[in-house]
Amino acid sequence: MSKLNKVQRLEIKASLAQRKAELIAEIRDELARSGHEHFADLAGEVTDAGDSSVADMLVDRNIATISAEVEELTQIEHAQARVDTAEFGECEECGADIGYARLQARPQAARCIQCQTLHEKNLPHGASL
Ligand SMILES: [Zn+2]
């Protein structure tokens, strides 16, 4: 059971929403710069629609220039889907508390620091989270 209290959960929720808005703005800028204005408009439509997954829509279109942003957006949407569950704040690998300080720094974190370190060792060079 996660040890996050109500206020902490609300703060994580707020930072997830804020980071998501920043990412969508970055993605739209990047799409516009790279001549994908059409997709930038699409991202705007999906955002305005509310609950739909912007990340899924962009992944489907497989635009390489924004893959890192889309990857982070996917993690944020995943965290947003979990934030109201009892499991939120627990490591997906070992079930330990991720810790509020780590969640403040990286609200989309799905693993404790130990599991994350192990996970990154198994990823190709340059990958994150
Ligand atoms: Zn863990």
Given a cut of 70, is residue 48 above it in pLDDT? no
Q: How far is the CA of 3 from the centre of ligand 1 (A)?
A: 15
In the block, tokens 């790279």 appear at 34
User: Would you say residue 129 lies in a domain?
Assistant: no
In the block, tokens 């991202």 appear at 43
Q: How many domains does the chain have?
A: 1
User: Would you say residue 128 lies in a domain?
Assistant: no
Q: What is the pLDDT of residues 68-120, one digit of tens each?
A: 888 899 999 999 999 999 899 999 999 999 999 999 999 999 999 999 999 98
Report which listed range, 1-15, 32-46, 59-73, 89-103, is most confident: 89-103
* Cα–Cα distance, 30 to 28 (Å, whole number): 5
**Confidence at residue 85, expressed as pLDDT on a 0 to 100 scale:** 92
Q: Which residues surround ligand 1, an ion (CB under 5 A)?
A: 91, 93-94, 96, 112, 115
The pTM score is 0.74
User: Would you say residue 127 lies in a domain?
Assistant: no
